[in-house]
Structure 1
Amino acid sequence: MYFKRKELEKFRSFKGPLIDVRSPSEYYKGHMPNSINIPLFDNDERIIIGTIYKKEGRKKAVIEGLKFFEKKIEFFLDNLFMSIDSYKNFPDNNKNELFIRIYCSRGGMRSQSIAWLLEKYKLNPIILKRGYKTYRRWILDCFSKKWNIVIIGGKTGSGKTRLLSLLEKYKYQTIDLEGFACHRGSTFGGLGMKEQPSNEQFENEIAEKLYSFKTNNNIFVEAESANIGKCKIPHEFFNQMKKSRRIEILRSESNRLNELIDTYSVFTKEELKNSVQRIKKRLGPQRTKIALESIDEEKWDLVCRSVLDYYDRCYEYEKVGKENITLLDLTDKNYDEKILELINNVL
């Protein structure tokens, strides 16, 4: 049976809801951003069908799959049509050129089955040829391309993340690695953040952002270690970061303390104490004691001062963009559009 199968680049060009019909565990490990998971089989059913396929062949696996799907077809279609209706409700979407984009692992039976079903409802299904596997090859190839990276560096509390957000606001090309990782890259980095994505999904989000950029223009990235929480920056991209130009932000200690206080004083005392306890061996007993007592007394300047020395010592080991550094003194300056002129002058 013939279905509209498209190579990745063409598949991406079509407008319409993007449906991932793989199991929830496959989807969690990694998926195309903005896709909706409407699984044909749940995690256990997928394992059962896979086992039958290996032991008894394709025909019996298909029959078993049909038995599972028969029980849930109404629920599946309800979710599918709900996703289609939701897509149509966005004002900018052209309802007359609507395609239902479907992918599974390899562009095989799962996506073909759903495409066949949608055709019966006079809809326009498009299958991703070779499925998510080809998408992942594209993701990994993306990081091997040459990117014109500019590193934003500076000690903890320099306001690097705020500067990156300002650049993004004014349409500069930026990659917020900490945002994609849902972690600030430090002992306190997980506070107030969502659950971290899988490493594979972290890579997918970065590559999709890179895909939207003009290759020759600067891409601003905050200086990071190779690991941000449990997420690891793609090896090829991190190697480019290490050799990139670096703008080193200089701020006074009082500026940095105020930045840390604004960032962390909003969290509960218990959360802050737990974070301090994780680095007590490196802080030493005296600084740990001061930090914990200061949290109880809400003396945020003392809390931040207690850990600032620890952060500064860690900073000496940072290796990103250390070969070509330009210093930029932003002491006591407001982080507004006027700073962009200073950034442009040092590029």
Structure 2
Amino acid sequence: MHITRDQYEAIFLGNLPLLDVRAPVEFNKGAFPGACNLPLMNDEERHLVGIRFKQKGQQAAIALGQQLVSGSVKADRIAAWEAFIRKHPEGYMYCFRGGLRSQTVQQWLKDEAGLHYPLVPGGYKAMRTFLIETRMAAVADSRFIVLGGLTGCGKTDLLGQLDNAVDLEGHAHHRGSSFGKHPTPQPTQINFENTLAIDFLKKRDLGYETFILEDEGRMIGHCALPLELRQTMSQSPMVWLHDSLANRAARILQDYVVDLCAEFIAVDGHEQGSARFAAQLRQSLKNIARRLGMERYQRLAAIMDQALDQQKRNGCVQAHVGWIEALLSEYYDPMYEHQRKSSRERTIFSGDQRAVLEYLGTCAGPQSGFGASHHALS
């Protein structure tokens, strides 16, 4: 039984299992959360069939595909599909357009294993289109509040306490600054957009019409904010979060030194992870050397080198505060203050963590509005 287009929403709201039978090269460019790639043809087989199709047409291409995927190769792939289906009987299967490849897999499963697994009509392309339309509708029909503040003031922590927050940095798997790269890769642009759309879909299904997002630039690492979302955010009301330099430096130390180093060690082991973390930290500072100016860059790099050496020798990280506080006060703060001037007219509230959380909490309920404009500017 085929599902209909109006059931795409149920697939993503229900986190239903998805069997993706496209080639790995297609899957790696873009896929859906939780989808499992068990291809009908691998990349080389797909390439050869594509050449045959261009040279001799569809029937010749089908014949070559059946020849390439036959015997033990076919048996192994059917066994893998069968294992997935028995583990996830409530799921669906798709190829790029819901056409020949997924239909072939469906028929083979029926003939060889006596199993029927439903197809997604329109396949990957139709679901991708549905998510693009979902994201654009959410941006057009929802209200947004942008959370701003100086680097290290705890915007991400605060967003984590709000049910109607959309964590753009979380979806991009990047902390959004020159120092924000994780040891594991960011998603592709398509996957970033897909998870963002599903987040909007789920929150709107719960009745939320107002969303809180952190103020971001055009790029979060190598993930670009969708144009319509970036334009809407640039015109949306802003709430500004305050915190002291000492608290911000302590938070940066925890997030970008202690926690990030632990991430690298978890991925690569202690020795290699520590070395890779130190190399990335140095490179992150080097990446903004031109904007810092050579004298300032060399001064901060020397402090960082001493801190990393001390961290390596005895595990003490406190020396990192030196370059962190200098970088905040001499580089990031002046840059953010300049940006803040351009958004002052749309700033509707300003305060510390407690005050901002309390204010934004009034916008957290389903179908809630902004309330009146409040100012607690300091």
* Aligned residue identity for 1:62: I
Q: Which residue is 1:119 aligned to?
A: 110
Deviation at 1:108, TM superposition (A): 0.6
Matched, 1:254 2:246: yes
> Cα–Cα, structure 1 residues 322 and 31, in superposed 2: closer, same or farther, change >3 Å?
farther
Partner of 1:265: helix, strand, or coil? Answer: helix
Deviation at 1:187, TM superposition (A): 0.9
Matched, 1:343 2:363: no
Matched, 1:10 2:24: no
Matched, 1:203 2:189: no
Q: Could you state the TM-score of these two structures normalised by the residue count of structure 2?
A: 0.79
* Aligned residue identity for 1:245: P
Q: Which residue is 1:174 aligned to?
A: 165
Deviation at 1:173, TM superposition (A): 1.8
Q: Which residue is 1:312 aligned to?
A: 333
Q: Which residue is 2:73 aligned to?
A: 72
Q: In the alignment, which of 296, 300, 304 is matched to residue 305 of structure 2?
A: 296
Deviation at 1:51, TM superposition (A): 1.7
Distance across 1 between alignment mates of 2:239 and 2:213:
10
Distance across 2 between alignment mates of 1:287 and 1:193:
27
**Contact 2:85–2:117 (8 Å) recurs in 1:** no
Distance across 2 between alignment mates of 1:320 and 1:110:
53
Deviation at 1:144, TM superposition (A): 2.3
> Cα–Cα, structure 1 residues 60 and 345, in superposed 2: closer, same or farther, change >3 Å?
closer
Distance across 1 between alignment mates of 2:96 and 2:341:
37
Deviation at 1:279, TM superposition (A): 1.0
Query: In the TM superposition, what whole-angstrom CA distance separates every residue of 1:302-332 from its partner, at most 9, and x where no partner exists?
Result: 11123213223443347997652123321xx
Partner of 1:247: helix, strand, or coil? Answer: strand
Question: What are the ranges of 5 or more consecutive residues in structure 1 without an aligned counterpart?
Answer: 88-97
Query: In the TM superposition, what whole-angstrom CA distance separates every residue of 1:101-155 from its partner, at most 9, and x where no partner exists?
Result: 1111111110001111222333331111111111122122123222222211111
**Larger mean Cα displacement after TM superposition, 310-319 or 58-67:** 310-319
Deviation at 1:219, TM superposition (A): 1.3
Identity %: 29
Distance across 1 between alignment mates of 2:199 and 2:221:
20
**Count of aligned pairs between the two proteins:** 324
Partner of 1:326: helix, strand, or coil? Answer: strand
Partner of 1:270: helix, strand, or coil? Answer: helix
* Aligned residue identity for 1:41: M
Question: What are the ranges of 5 or more consecutive residues in structure 2 without an aligned counterpart?
Answer: 262-276, 308-318, 364-369, 371-378
Distance across 1 between alignment mates of 2:128 and 2:341:
28
Deviation at 1:257, TM superposition (A): 1.2
Please show how residues 1-347 of structure 1 align to structure 2 within 5 Å.
Answer: 4-11=1-8, 13=10, 17-70=17-70, 71-87=72-88, 98-120=89-111, 121-145=113-137, 146-167=141-162, 172-190=163-181, 192-214=182-204, 216-266=208-258, 267=261, 268-298=277-307, 299-308=319-328, 309-315=330-336, 316-317=338-339, 323-330=345-352, 340-344=357-361, 347=370
**Contact 2:349–2:356 (8 Å) recurs in 1:** no
Distance across 2 between alignment mates of 1:119 and 1:13:
25
> Cα–Cα, structure 1 residues 242 and 322, in superposed 2: closer, same or farther, change >3 Å?
farther
Partner of 2:142: helix, strand, or coil? Answer: coil
**Larger mean Cα displacement after TM superposition, 226-235 or 145-154:** 145-154
**Larger mean Cα displacement after TM superposition, 69-78 or 257-266:** 69-78
Distance across 1 between alignment mates of 2:231 and 2:174:
21
Distance across 1 between alignment mates of 2:233 and 2:49:
44
Greater helix content: 2
Q: Could you state the TM-score of these two structures normalised by the residue count of structure 1?
A: 0.85
Distance across 2 between alignment mates of 1:220 and 1:108:
40
Distance across 2 between alignment mates of 1:174 and 1:86:
34
> Cα–Cα, structure 1 residues 323 and 110, in superposed 2: closer, same or farther, change >3 Å?
farther
